[in-house]
A = this chain, B = another copy of it.
Amino acid sequence: MTSSNPAISSGAAKPGTAGANLNLSKEGWYTETSSLWPGQGLSLQVDEVLFQDRSDFQDVCVLRNKAFGTVLLLDGVIQCTDRDEFSYQEMITHLPLCALQADPTKVLVVGGGDGGVLREVARHQSVQEIHIAEIDGMVPKVAKKFFPQMAIGFDDPRVTVDITDGIKFVKEAAEGTYDAIIVDSSDPVGPAEVLFQKDFFEAMHRALKPGGVVCTQAESMWLHMDIIKELARMCHEVFTNGTVQYAFTTIPTYPSGQIGFMICSKQSQGPLDPRHPKRPAPEAAAGSKHGPLRYYSSEVHSAAFVLPKFAKEALSQHLTF
């Protein structure tokens, strides 16, 4: 998850306060706290702070930890780590792209400035154009320096980068442009809230081809069921006659150890059921610099939509199937 919107506030701040300088314990540990997960937080031992600056939009920090390698924080919130980023990047990308009936040719990424989603989209050989709208130019710069295995996504000749407001970009896109829009956003607190609002989803619906799919970062079913329910309800209103589904992946460095995705499809000839892949998992092309997939498989795709009973019951009236 990388920020695509200005000035995301970092919430509560004990014992490690997020800010221009990371607040470490005297033993050198950082605890990720937020008003979105009160009373709990993942703590990481900080071996070294590699980078720390304030962009026009947020505090950007890179640190090194023995368990997870290099770690990117925006406004004090963990965005990705060397060790487990593949889970998030593969799932937020291949769930929508492999759910499509037709081979995708044109894909938009909103946020995703670390390049990891671009890397995954590029595995799909049918794709001819990949657009990315990331608001904060410092994030790609930092990714290229400290996370080369993600920033490799920027090297693909099919990629066009716009350092711009993702909402504005989507609103200006021609109707029916994209096969898929992937929203690799930060949490819905402060101004990033707009990426979880109806206005933005209506703009994305308009910019999609019929049969196209949106996939957005959609928080943890263990921590944020109220947010997820509200998001599903709103998506149901926007994707009338389309489909709305929720899936999740496991990832140790996100709060509660999992994160979910809201996957919505625009009406076509018939409803698209995104729960089962229509296309095989993309293989790395011969001679490709991308390694093999490490999380996603066709089996994992279907299993990701099978929710624990409490989550299924909470969301049942808002999901299509």
- A: residues with CB less than 8 A from B are 14-15, 25, 27, 29, 31, 37-45, 47, 65-68, 84, 87, 220, 222-223, 248, 250-252, 254-258, 293-297, 299-300, 302-303, 306-310, 312
> Which of the listed residues A220, A222, A257, A312 has the most CB atoms from chain B within 10 Å of its own CB?
A257
Contact B297 A312 (CB under 8 A): yes
Contacts of A254 in B (CB 8 A): 257
Contact B44 A39 (CB under 8 A): yes
Contacts of A296 in B (CB 8 A): 309
Contact B43 A40 (CB under 8 A): yes
The CA-CA distance from A45 to B38 in the complex, in Å, is: 9
Contacts of A255 in B (CB 8 A): 252
Residue of B nearest to A259 (CB): B257
Report copies per complex.
2
* Contact A87-B14, Cβ < 8 Å, known A39-B44, A40-B68, A43-B41: no
Contact B37 A67 (CB under 8 A): yes
Residue of B nearest to A301 (CB): B306
Given contacts A14-B29, A250-B258, 4 further A-B contacts (CB under 8 A): A15-B43, A38-B45, A39-B65, A258-B258
> Which of the listed residues A222, A223, A296, A310 has the most CB atoms from chain B within 10 Å of its own CB?
A222
Contacts of A303 in B (CB 8 A): 302-303, 306
Contacts of A44 in B (CB 8 A): 39-40
Contacts of A15 in B (CB 8 A): 25, 27, 29, 43
The CA-CA distance from A69 to B249 in the complex, in Å, is: 25
> Which of the listed residues A38, A40, A293 has the most CB atoms from chain B within 10 Å of its own CB?
A40
Residue of B nearest to A256 (CB): B252
Selected contact of A31 from candidates B29, B258, B300, B309, CB within 8 Å: B29
Contacts of A31 in B (CB 8 A): 29, 31, 43
Contact A87 B40 (CB under 8 A): no
The CA-CA distance from A47 to B38 in the complex, in Å, is: 12
Contacts of A47 in B (CB 8 A): 39
The CA-CA distance from A226 to B262 in the complex, in Å, is: 34
Residue of B nearest to A29 (CB): B15
Contacts of A308 in B (CB 8 A): 87, 250, 294-295, 300
Nearest CB of chain B from residue A289's CB, rounded to whole Å: 19
Nearest CB of chain B from residue A240's CB, rounded to whole Å: 27
Nearest CB of chain B from residue A226's CB, rounded to whole Å: 14
Contact A66 B39 (CB under 8 A): yes
Contact B300 A306 (CB under 8 A): yes
Nearest CB of chain B from residue A51's CB, rounded to whole Å: 19
Nearest CB of chain B from residue A242's CB, rounded to whole Å: 23
